[in-house]
Amino acid sequence: MDGKKILFGAAYYPEYMPYERLDEDMAMMKAAGMNVVRIAESTWSTLEPKEGVFDFSFIDRVCDKAEQEGVSVIIGTPTYAVPAWLVKKEPEIMVLTKAGRAPYGHRQLMDFMHPAFRFHAERVIRRLAEHTAGKKAVIGFQIDNETKYYDNMSEQVQELFVEYLKERFGSTERLNKAFGLAYWSNSIADWEAFPSMRGCVHAGLSGEFDAFRRHLAADYLKWQADIIQEYRREDQFITHNFDFQWKKFGADIAQDGYSYGVQPDMNHYEAAGAVTLAGTDIYHPTQDELTGAEIGFGGDSIRSLKEEPYLVLECQAQAFKYWTPYPGQLRLHAYSHLASGAAGMLYWNWHSIHNGYETYWKGLLSHDLRTNPAYEEACRFGQEWKKLGAETLTIRKQNKIALVVDNRCLTAFRWFPIDKDLSYNDVVRWVYDSLYELNLECDVVDVEALKELGALREKYDMIVTPALYSAEDELIEKLRNFVKDGGVLFSTFKSFVCDRQLSVYPDVQPHGLTECFGISYNQFSEPGTTTVQGQPVRYFMELLHTEGAECLAPYEHKYWGRYAAVTSHSYGKGKAWYMGCYTEKELLKQYLLQAAEAAGIQKAEAEWPVIVRSGINPKGEKVHYLLHYASEEGSFVCPYQRVTDVLTGMEYREGEIIPLRDWDAFVLVETC
């Protein structure tokens, strides 16, 4: 990948177009400063219309024209949407789920473990890679698309799961004990008696099955990557568009929502081993609901996978009535991605599709395929990116706060909800969004990645664990030592409750950390009318006993008033905060800020809705992205000795007022 230019472009589907317009599209892309297209990832039936009959003519046309125009191409393997002829021949490649065999039609409903699927998928991948790897315009490959395990419960997957359990636990006695299978007579005396997982009633065993299926999905990506490795040039990357759990606005339709939190059906950290360049798809609210928090959370998650710049392979232009951006917002979106450490950004997609399931998931061009306000705004920042380049605008970060996330905790709360209206990802985003609005930058770190780090204090000064329900003793000891060594730990309710098999520890909670936090509890409650500092408590509250900790705030309630809601405690050289309840963000922010200050972490001198995200560009310059998420005008007092906004050439000195227009963006580079 050319380190001098920011990749900017779109997914491009000439096979969906109502008429031939490749020359016109390329001309419009070039005018917008675009330099890359992603093609082929959903077109198996076009590439192989009949079994063994391949047609790469549309790929050749795009690649040839792209090379002529100096535009790069990312080739996507087409395996996430299978052709009808294959299902007709091999109907069992459609995934078998708890609900039964999936019908043909929708994408991502194949059994990627089925031998027939693997045979045909490998053949089309090999033919495609062999045909395109030598093309000058091709800079990389995207393997599959938003891969997950698709609730695969096939006989093969269940047999593999039993073999995995045999290897891990050795005997049925150890298996029974680990998961408490004596409950409801679910224990087994020999492996042949192991039942189907379709009726499993044990949260821990179900969680293990989900983790195993996430492993299969990650291994499937590795399988594809190994094939591509045989053909790609050294200068060509392998990427994948990791996505997030979808948050719905309300209506129960797939397009009604946005990227929200931890993906339950794929472990990004495990799967990232298959790629050389991490990639992602990030969609978010816009108009009056635009905050940038989804861009921040997604970016901080994907950047942390390899601690390298990442590629936004899909983001929104103007899809749906509630995604039509206000003037300035599309540009603000784009700079927000760079502010999180992205190396480039592609729209899904270039043009609006005229038929099919995603007809109204509009692209940068509307259905008339002409210029429009969204396209014109993209032209503005696209030319800015072309002029300034990656050496000025891309940044690396060295954040000192880690926010820890975990797929198993998400699974656990599906079985044992904190509240019917409060999910694991709700708690994660409650904490992340509070840090984000405080301008306290963090890495979003998978729990397995945290465990693999050496001395935590060498990398982080503060670790935050939102609802880290499932935690093994090894991790707990590591966190305890982190605090002893001078680190700051900030944990919320429902942390350190059970082991990795989701068996609740039979001792005082929070398990293994009562000394560290200086608290204990053995009761929790519905909040009812309870308040903390006059603010209502919502969803859930733990009744905390202080055992050396300072009570920062008690519950305000006739009966629960003798219990602590929020505590802090000095332990060794460090300090630990514990938040035992869910409150409004303003109260959470108060304590997060206290903890950050104790860790010696200074927040950016800005107040929401102004966001400042900082890093170092390839030239070694300190760069501060100044992002204004408001429809009203505002101002920002420059805290830096001297900076230049490279977008306008304006220079600002410490104490000077920087006027902010609605939905504004600045890139401030320190000049001394």
All structural domains of the chain: 7-80+118-147+240-391 (3.20.20.80), 401-598 (3.40.50.880), 610-670 (2.60.40.1180)
Q: How far apart are CA 360 and CA 366, in angstroms?
A: 9
As a whole number, mean pLDDT of residues 176-189 equals 96
Q: Are 432 and 297 in contact (CB under 8 A)?
A: yes
Whether the pLDDT of residue 489 is over 90: the answer is: yes
Place of tokens 């706060």: 401
**Class of residue 200 by CB neighbours under 10 A (exposed 0-12, middle 13-18, buried 19+):** middle
**Predicted local confidence at residue 250, as pLDDT:** 59
Measured CA distances, 72 to 26, 29, 68, 84, 238 (Å): 11, 12, 10, 31, 14
Residue 267 has pLDDT above 60, yes or no: yes
Q: What are the tens digits of pLDDT across the range 536-546?
A: 999 999 999 99
pLDDT of amino acid 455: 87
Residue of higher predicted confidence among 321 and 79: 79
Residues counted in the chain: 672
Does the pLDDT value for residue 252 go beyond 90? no
Helix axes 407-415, 424-437, angle to 10 degrees: 130
Lowest-confidence segment of 249-263, 472-486, 496-510, 589-603 by average pLDDT:
249-263
Instruction: Please tell me the predicted confidence (pLDDT) of residue 256.
Output: 65
Residue 501 has pLDDT above 50, yes or no: yes
pLDDT at 249 over 80: no
Q: Which of 71-75, 185-189, 244-248 has the lowest mean pLDDT?
A: 244-248
Mean pLDDT of 292-308: 98
Under a CB-based contact definition with an 8 Å cutoff, are residues 658 and 638 in contact?
yes
pTM: 0.97
> What does the pLDDT average to over 552-567?
98
Mean pLDDT, residues 315-329: 94
User: What is the arithmetic mean of pLDDT over 27-42?
Assistant: 97
Check residue 320 and give its pLDDT.
87
pLDDT band at 3 (very low <50, low <70, confident <90, very high): confident
Contact 110, 44 (CB under 8 A): no
Q: What's the whole-number average pLDDT of the chain?
A: 96
Q: What is the share, in percent, of the chain residues with pLDDT greater than 90? A: 96
User: What would the mean pLDDT of 642-646 be, rounded to a whole number?
Assistant: 98
**100-157 pLDDT tens trace:** 999 999 999 999 999 999 999 999 999 999 999 999 999 999 999 999 999 999 999 9
